[in-house]
Structure 1
């Protein structure tokens, strides 16, 4: 199957590309930045440098590929950056998705959109797919508007909401766990919030869930994340425990005490019951995810 993946140089996109290649698909990985991957020798892999906010580039790419499936994982995903640069956030997260939908419709592509727990206000937590959205940050607003556009798509579509993705970087910048590991090893002081309830997502689990959606042609909204509720500070302590570091300078703090432009939902966990039932989604435990993220890194 011919599959176009946006954001392929990011943590989520890179694992989606890896998973789909392993399952024998023809994968067209795309990113605004040059190819960073180690997949260039794989017979099913092609890289396309693409700015999906540029309609002319998109027209040319879609005409050349004629994708059967589009996995749209590209986004401006840092909430503070979105709050500070709202025009850019709207262009990338909302308008860019709209443009992709227009091109995908020409080829009746199955459209899979990566969304976020930040479309919820975080007052109750463990949200189900049909819970009402109420974003409290501009990032959440742009992703919700994109979701609403996807739901009007005339052909098959799926929306995948996920939470706080981590995993061993295939290339590019650290994830939260590897960043914390470096600070622990260097005995650096660092404040980590302890009052946000999340259901952190191991990136390979997320990629497997997306592959299952493609295989089953499952449509609608799905929550794909971890099954355990914990705070970022608890994730940091799980990292310290794995590394065997007892003495550190990590400090638990409340979200309100951290300098941030964008509000964060305090209870943003997602219920994965639907994905477990319909996709056979079975995420790893946080402890196992942390182990697989850190094994083989410096000092382990």
Structure 2
């Protein structure tokens, strides 16, 4: 029996992980998040309330559960908010990881930590796993510091780095580029989308799949887990409009200077996936296929309503 504890199970990735892990009867899943369980189903797994910024709570839950593997998805990911609320960001993104490392050491757990392309300055993407980090935002620094807390520890660890995750949460609480473009164009709004940033956008289901591949093998080291298409947000918007047969003339090109955002964004990130493909047999879908997956989920949400 593989006992796997997930942090941040109420979040988008957390939800997808619980669903995916439950498909394998060998997995015993313990979902944790701050406050109440927001997953729409309660069968097949155990839920425990755990605030990752509370060291005693982290110790207590992990001492009791004694998981083989912890998948740490909880984090403060709003890049601009991290810039203005640095203490909260550090607590959620760095201190929490130090507490988990400590608990993993005591209980001999494998820790899978989720990281980001924002640890890079974006001058030379797509990046391989061994590229040099140089964050340009406080969020990026906090995630890089968390990576260091993991890699400098003497526990067994894996790091899954990802890029621009999109998907649909059960309660539709999160938006993403596809939903934003679709809604704006359906409402007849003109939108400006940047042409000078490049990413490899990642379907949440693919990220969950990559995490499970690492967790079940307890594969050690750093792995790039993202989508495979290297695109600008403008290209993503045009593809979304094409798929839903919406009016593309409402979309206009812009560059990053058009938007005043508190935190700097790395211009050109994206990942080289060769290591994950070779070592884990990780095979993500194309962005077009990702749009199709989301469209199917939107339709089933409409049918449920």
User: Which category describes the TM-score, using the shorter chain as reference length?
Assistant: over 0.9
Q: 2:118 touches 2:266 (CA, 8 Å); kept in 1?
A: yes
Q: 2:8 touches 2:14 (CA, 8 Å); kept in 1?
A: yes
| 1:47 match | 47
Mapping 1:214-293, distance limit 5 Å: 214-247=215-248, 249-293=250-294
| 1:27 match | 29
User: Counterparts of 2:9 and 2:252 in 1: how far apart (Å)?
Assistant: 34
Count of aligned pairs: 298
Q: 1:126 touches 1:270 (CA, 8 Å); kept in 2?
A: yes
Post-superposition shift, 1:296?
4.6
CA deviation vs aligned residue, 1:194-238 (integer Å, no higher than 9, x gap): 211000001111111111112222100000001110011211111
Post-superposition shift, 1:78?
1.1
What TM-score, normalized to structure 1? 0.95
Mapping 1:207-218, distance limit 5 Å: 207-218=208-219
Structure 1's 175 and 34: CA in aligned 2 closer, same or farther, altered over 3 A?
farther
* Segment of structure 1 superposing worse, 169-178 or 145-154: 169-178
What TM-score, normalized to structure 2? 0.94
User: Structure 1: where are the runs of 5+ without partners?
Assistant: none
CA deviation vs aligned residue, 1:99-153 (integer Å, no higher than 9, x gap): 1111111111000000000000000111100011000000000000000010022
| 1:66 match | 66
Mapping 1:1-300, distance limit 5 Å: 1-24=2-25, 25-41=27-43, 43=44, 45-171=45-171, 172-247=173-248, 249-297=250-298
SS of match in other structure, 1:295:
helix
Q: 2:128 touches 2:224 (CA, 8 Å); kept in 1?
A: yes
Q: 1:169 touches 1:175 (CA, 8 Å); kept in 2?
A: no
Q: 2:59 touches 2:99 (CA, 8 Å); kept in 1?
A: no
CA deviation vs aligned residue, 1:19-51 (integer Å, no higher than 9, x gap): 11112311111111421112302x2x1111211
Structure 1's 2 and 185: CA in aligned 2 closer, same or farther, altered over 3 A?
same
User: Counterparts of 1:144 and 1:247 in 2: how far apart (Å)?
Assistant: 38
User: Counterparts of 2:247 and 2:192 in 1: how far apart (Å)?
Assistant: 17
User: Counterparts of 1:49 and 1:179 in 2: how far apart (Å)?
Assistant: 32
User: Counterparts of 1:176 and 1:12 in 2: how far apart (Å)?
Assistant: 16
Q: 1:225 touches 1:283 (CA, 8 Å); kept in 2?
A: yes
SS of match in other structure, 1:115:
strand
Post-superposition shift, 1:55?
1.2
User: Structure 2: where are the runs of 5+ without partners?
Assistant: none
